[in-house]
Amino acid sequence: MKYIDEFRDGALAQGLAGRIAAEVQPGRRYHFMEFCGGHTHAISRYGITELLPAAVRMIHGPGCPVCVLPIGRVDQAIALALGPAGDGTDGVILCTYGDVMRVPASQSLSLMKAKARGADIRMVYSAADALKLALAHPDREVVFLAIGFETTTPPTALVVRQAQQRGVGNFSVLCHHVLTPSAITHILQSPEVRQWGTVPLDGFIGPAHVSIIIGSGPYEHFAEEYRKPVVIAGFEPLDVMQAVLMLVRQVNAGRAEVENEFTRAVTPEGNLAAQAVVSEVMELRPSFEWRGLGEVPYSALQLRPAYAAFDAERKFGLRYQPVPDHKQCECGAILRGVKRPTDCKLFGTVCTPENPMGSCMVSSEGACAAHYSYGRFRDIPVVAA
């Protein structure tokens, strides 16, 4: 199958591993963060860690939109769905993506558990599905809980514009779309990276789908200002390994540039039509909380005043209340690259994909879920016969 099978060739992977090992300089350590959860999933699923030399360490970043959704935002959605009575009888029809349904919230709740209490919460595959529900139920308020990076933002913006054009008065969006470059800047400015040095970073593997929308241009300032190379890569195993090789070569040469391994899909300018519809409908929030990162300036989007009638936060007078994570959950540290999944006492015991205690275990792209599914057996010591 074109663009899949040829990027999963085992012999080519072994060859790339040999080239990486040959170019790693003796006595030097390389620390690369894969920002996107899709890359984390690929690294775990295809055993890329075992193919890389010991001197190369991959650090999992916060690049899963489900994982970075803070508890307080989930609480808002649950409150809307349950309604003032708390049993769903006077709540809205809340629509969102499947992974969001299981994100742990306050009082041991989640959207899935709120649905069991009587809330009308529905899993949809797109924002367009939510708009169809609003048209089919003109007597009910329908709210779409929108999350995601730049990849899923254009469809949300397009549906909001369609709702305005069609005069759909019972449809609104709880907009929690966040921006990748702002999060990368926040990580580079964090004490763990700049002050304490507990998270050494020599370069980034740039996200694939996000870069299709925004292009490679927005990463230029990381290379220029922070002297950190960025290589945009696809999600197949050979994409990731080629990106690692390109990063190793940049570090060895003392270069800090933006390179594009994913040339079959990413251009410097990105998708201009998608960018235009987002710019028309949405604007930057001054600040937004990310789970694990805290408040990140200008890192999320909200609807512009011209589309305020479709902004659920304004429509229902919602006020955001931050909520701390579970005291024993290490998701915050894992999302920042400070800790690994196995450093969490809950990992693999009370916290599993079937019973997630933290957001990193909810989505298959979360660092904990990926390691649980593909890597936890490597943690078991081998006992000699």
Q: What is the full DSSP assignment across 14-75?
A: HHHHHHHHHHSPTT--EEEEEEEHHHHHHHHHTTHHHHS-TTEEEEEEEE-TTTT--HHHHH
Q: Using pLDDT thresholds of 50, 70 and 90, give the confidence band for residue 379.
A: low
Q: Is the pLDDT of residue 59 over 90?
A: yes
DSSP letter (8 states) at residue 233: -
The whole-number average pLDDT for the span 208-223 is 94
Superfamily of domain 5-62+182-260: HypD, alpha/beta domain 1 (3.40.50.11750)
285 touches 295 (CB < 8 A): no
Q: Which residues contact 115 (CB under 8 A, 6 or more apart)?
A: 81, 101, 121
Q: 111 — phi, psi (to 5°)?
A: -60, -35
Task: Please tell me which residue, 340 or 383, carries the higher pLDDT value.
Answer: 340
Q: Which residues contact 48 (CB under 8 A, 6 or more apart)?
A: 42, 58, 237, 240, 241
pLDDT of residue 16: 97
pLDDT of residue 385: 47
pLDDT of residue 383: 47
Q: Using pLDDT thresholds of 50, 70 and 90, give the confidence band for residue 382.
A: very low
Least confident of 177-181, 195-199, 251-255: 195-199
Task: Please tell me which residue, 321 or 193, carries the higher pLDDT value.
Answer: 321
Residue 204 and residue 53: Cα distance in Å, rounded? 18
